[in-house]
């Protein structure tokens, strides 16, 4: 069982909808990450929060909006998505504020389909 919990597991949304993905960890980890993964591709980094502050934004389109309400929670707000945004969205956390000497632990992911 993963110690990083993501909800929902599956999400289908239209291009005009607004939805949110949620992620929670209770391991006291100091960094949380959003990755996007398309089929047969490696995970692509989207955002990193370190000590609750956004530290990395990999030039992600503004239709994706991250939020870190506290050290245990990470949200990804979605609006006006495109069908090509359909993918597996992975949340991860690491004990330290970066991946130096601190492995990432992934949640089970949210399978997003945009229609």
Partner 1 sequence: QKEVEQNSGPLSVPEGAIASLNCTYSDRGSQSFFWYRQYSGKSPELIMSIYSNGDKEDGRFTAQLNKASQYVSLLIRDSQPSDSATYLCAVSGSQGNLIFGKGTKLSVKP
Site for partner 1 in 44-73 (CB under 8 A): 45, 48, 50, 55-56
Name the β-bridge partners of 29: none
* Residue 10 binding partner 1, by CB under 8 A: no
Tokens of residue 46, six digits: 């989207």
Site for partner 1 in 81-100 (CB under 8 A): 88, 90, 97-100
Contact with partner 1 (CB under 8 A) among 23, 76, 78, 104: 104
* Residue 101 binding partner 1, by CB under 8 A: yes
SS3 label, residue 61? coil
Stretch that binds partner 1, among 16-24, 39-47, 63-71, 77-85 (CB under 8 A): 39-47
Nearer to partner 1 by Cβ, of 3 and 80: the residue is 3
SS3 label, residue 83? helix
| Count of C-beta atoms within a 10 Å radius of residue 106 | 17
| Count of C-beta atoms within a 10 Å radius of residue 109 | 22
Radius of gyration of the chain (CA): 13
Point out which residues bind partner 1 (CB under 8 A): 2, 33, 41-43, 45, 48, 50, 55-56, 88, 90, 97-109
């Amino acid at each position: 069982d993963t110690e990083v919990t993501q909800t929902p597991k599956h999400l289908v949304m239209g291009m005009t909808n607004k939805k949110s993905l949620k992620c929670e960890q209770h391991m006291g980890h100091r960094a949380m990450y959003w990755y996007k993964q398309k089929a047969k591709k490696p995970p692509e980094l989207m955002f990193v929060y370190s000590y609750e502050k956004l530290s990395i934004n990999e030039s992600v389109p503004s239709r994706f909006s991250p939020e870190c309400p506290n050290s245990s929670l990470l949200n990804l707000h979605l609006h006006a998505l495109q069908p090509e945004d359909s993918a597996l969205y992975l949340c991860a956390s690491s004990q330290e504020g970066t991946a130096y000497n601190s492995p990432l632990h992934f949640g089970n992911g949210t399978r997003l389909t945009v229609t």
